[in-house]
Amino acid sequence: MASNHLPPPSGLESHRFPVEPWRLVETEYHSDDLGHTETLFGVGNGYLGMRANPEEGRDAHSHGTFINGFHETWEIQHAENAFGFAKVGQTIVNVPDAKLIKLYVDDEPLLLADADLEHYERSIDFRTGYLTRDLLWRTPGGKRIHVRSTRMVSMAERHLAVMTFEVTLLDEAAPVVISSQLLNRQDGEDEYHVVGAALGEGNPEHDPRKASEFEQRVLRPTTREDSTDDEGSGDVILGYTCVNSGMTLACGYHHHVDTASHFAATTELGDDLAKTVFEIAGEPNVPITITKYVAYHTSTGVPCEELADRCTRTLRRAVRTGVDELRNEQVGTLDRFWASADIEITGDDTAQQAMRWNLFQLAQASIKTQEQGIAAKGVTAGGYDGHYFWDTEVYVVPFLAYTDPIAARKLLRFRWHMLDAARRRARELNQEGGLFPWRTINGEEASAYYAAGTAQYHINADVVFALARYLDATGDVEFLADEGAEILTETARLWNDLGFYATNNSGSFHIHRVTGPDEYTTVVNDNLYTNVMARFNLRYAARTVRFLAEWNPEAFASLQRRTGLRLGELDDWDAAADAMFIPYDERSEIHPQDTAFLDLEPWDWKGTGLDKYPLLLHFHPLVIYRHQVLKQADVVLAMYLRSPYFTAEQKRRNFDFYDPITTGDSSLSACVQGIVAAQVGRDELAHDYFERALYLDICDVHGNTSDGVHIANCGGVWAAIVHGFAGMIEDGLALSFAPRLPTQWSGVRFRVHRHGSTMQVELTPDGAQLSHVEGIGVPVKDGEVEIVVEAGVTHHVARAPSE
């Protein structure tokens, strides 16, 4: 039985993690799931991410601080090489750790694993973005100490993190030592040692989802600066250069101490460690508060010295602003986020909390990416080497397009920046146009296993899907003119050249030897998902570029200069789209995943114990590829993304065929199954799948949340509400809805931004109430009725039928 077919999880153990609407709270320290909780309580802003390691360091699954796109490169060693195989490995670097603030009382260290804790609470607050820990520690000498700390990564200043550490002796005086550090662990004992191979303690050697590990020094120390005085005030900066990629990094801290007790500080700097040690004559009930401002700056070319200057400026500005005002900025940023993005669920507090946790992860992944992508794990850990996949385009951009269009635009500009590399890669693969890399940080293909990598040509259409979704949601024709049209041109050219017209006089256009999103069936002919999405890409490119030529001849002329585009190419694209072969089996009335899929052998479900999932860790790829078994359902995904192109009956039949043979071994599976289950009126199943997706990280369903948050799934959770239960569909002109509130809930409320206007959608048991919030209004189609939900207008959509 595949994990997909087990009962869904139903939330965290509520004694340890009490249910609250706006916080995730932990009331007991456990050392047996550190990897999981380090991820759940992590803080980040899309640029900088810090895992929820305790201030004391020591016991951890992994001490992690990550900066989006900051990576080392290495030569991929193929055991058996071939022409065009990916050459440049790219791995996100675990940067120096500024989280460390070690406490000693009477020279006894605070160590959570051993400490006698009379009180423990750790929480992450979704409205403030603060990770807070509150301890009452009884030292080995019997003294009671109150330790309260906070940590935030600024959502207003992307290079900044701020920590506070407050110690109060409750019983009697004692010498207190606080050692605040900045530690480069790259070569440390508890760190990475093997290049390339995906190894992880206690995990199978062949788990491709793990991060690569380095066997030698990655960060070469280049710069050290220290302007601290004997109270520890001043800036400490360390600078590093990545040995191969040449990327540069500077990071530093600045402390502010607030206490009535007497104290003195000393600072030491080495290649891999800077520390400022505060020695305090602690007195009872006199709080000692240390504020640690931390800055990180990175670059692909700027010298470390200049980055060090930038750190200093960031730190000094932060110190001037002060913790209170920084907190206000943080709360203000998140207020705006929640005003746009919140989803309120009534009737299920556990789900409400989990919903907000997922949305909060999307904020932490997207809010300050600037023009980097969003990695599979955001900035929460190094899983999948910190690579960007299609996840962002298909699972995250749709969320951003309707909640934070500026963030969506930045992600699309990031892809546009990659076009030159995509054009080079296409040439290398003997094709015209551009081919985006399946996985990458720097724009170069980094997938060392082409069958489940390079062969996923669908990435091109996924990018165009995101572009279209953004343009539909915003009407940003300027972006179309400048960046969008170039993306459309090069992707459409790739498809037109990759496919071919069958020689059997059928006139149909085929795309062969590609892999769809389902990595349990690879290198096939006429993958349905790929062909449906390529058809869309070709048609959309032709139509949109024609529009550009008429609307803005100057922009079109510029496009022609940049790409050499001829108008005749647009006709070729339309012709290929019109002739596109879409596999359909008349007998079973379903869309086969590819031409040969229905000929494969059924999987032996009964003979496959639960310990054999995910299959990829227990069966040779050839065994998996030989059978009708899916990691995630290609056809179902195509039905979600290109919903209007399938009849309701086709959707039902396809869903019923593919759902039972889908393992859900992919974390991208549950949300999509849920969306389509909802759209075809399988209410109970839709709710089951929603819970699988909702609790996927919170309950560690895939057993690897320690490797980071599955960001795409968080976007999928949003989509499961908006496109699933609300049944929202975008046709480029208007939105439509097919509401089906789960019977478990009494209501759901969310907002949608479209073309600068905002509308509220409230799901009720009998349908949905659409109401105006802001702007000139949002056009909506309800069956034959076309209305604009503008000021003063409220519209009720009837509940869609269920099975």
Torsion sign, CA atoms 619, 624, 627, 631? positive
Least Cα distance to 372 among 715, 47, 710, 714 occurs for 47
Residue 86 or 711 with smaller CB distance to a second copy: 86
Q: How far is the CB of 595 from a second copy (least distance, A)?
A: 7
Alpha-carbon separation of residue 213 from 24, 186, 199, 246, 585 (angstroms): 31, 10, 7, 18, 46
Distances (CA, A) of 423 to 389, 436, 449, 536, 562: 18, 8, 21, 21, 12
Token pair for residue 203? 């995990």
Catalytic residue flag (residue 118): no
- Please identify, using beta-carbon distances, which residue of 190 and 589 lies nearer to a second copy: 589
Least CB distance to a second copy at residue 515 (A): 9
Q: Determine contact, residues 623/521, Cβ cutoff 8 Å.
A: no
Candidates 374, 385, 514, 537; CA nearest to 454 is: 514
Strands (DSSP E) found in 330-452: 343-346
Query: Cβ contacts of residue 320 below 8 Å, gap of 6+?
Result: none
Minimum distance of a second copy from residue 748's CB (angstroms): 41
61 contact partners, CB below 8 Å, separation of at least 6? 34, 35, 36, 38, 706
Question: Which helix H or strand E contains 39, and what residues bound it?
Answer: helix 34-40
- Give Cα separations from 717 to 178, 204, 263, 519, 634 (angstroms): 42, 29, 50, 22, 18
Whether a cis peptide bond, with omega within 30° of 0, leads into 405 is no
Q: Which is nearer to a second copy, 39 or 496 (CB)?
A: 496
Q: Which is nearer to a second copy, 118 or 585 (CB)?
A: 585
In the chain, the amino acid numbered 469 is R
The residue count of the chain comes to 803
- Nearest approach in angstroms of CB 507 to a second copy is 14
Rounded CA-CA distance 91/132 in Å is 30
Q: Which residue has the tokens 């340890």?
A: 16
CB of 581 to a second copy, least distance (A): 10
Q: Are strands 627-628 and 601-602 parallel, antiparallel or unpaired?
A: parallel
The contacts found for 11-18 with CB under 8 angstroms, 24 or more apart, are 11/350, 11/351, 11/353, 11/354, 11/695, 11/698, 11/699, 12/698, 12/699, 14/350
CB under 8 Å to 583, separation ≥6 — which residues? 526, 528, 531, 591, 592, 593, 594, 595, 597
Rank residues 317 and 618 by Cβ distance to a second copy and give the closer one: 618
Nearest distance, CB of residue 704 and a second copy, angstroms: 16
Nearer residue to a second copy within complex by CB, 194 or 776: 194
Residue type present at position 785: V
Determine contact, residues 223/304, Cβ cutoff 8 Å.
Answer: yes
- Rounded to a whole number of angstroms, the minimum distance from the CB of residue 638 to a second copy is 21
In the complex, the residues that contact a second copy under the rule CB under 8 A are 76-86, 89, 196-198, 204-206, 208, 428-430, 447-451, 453-455, 500, 502-504, 510, 512-514, 523, 525, 595-596, 599-602, 616-623, 625-626
Catalytic residue, candidates 72, 213, 445, 519: 519
Dig out the tokens for 404 from the structure.
């934070």
Active site residues: 519
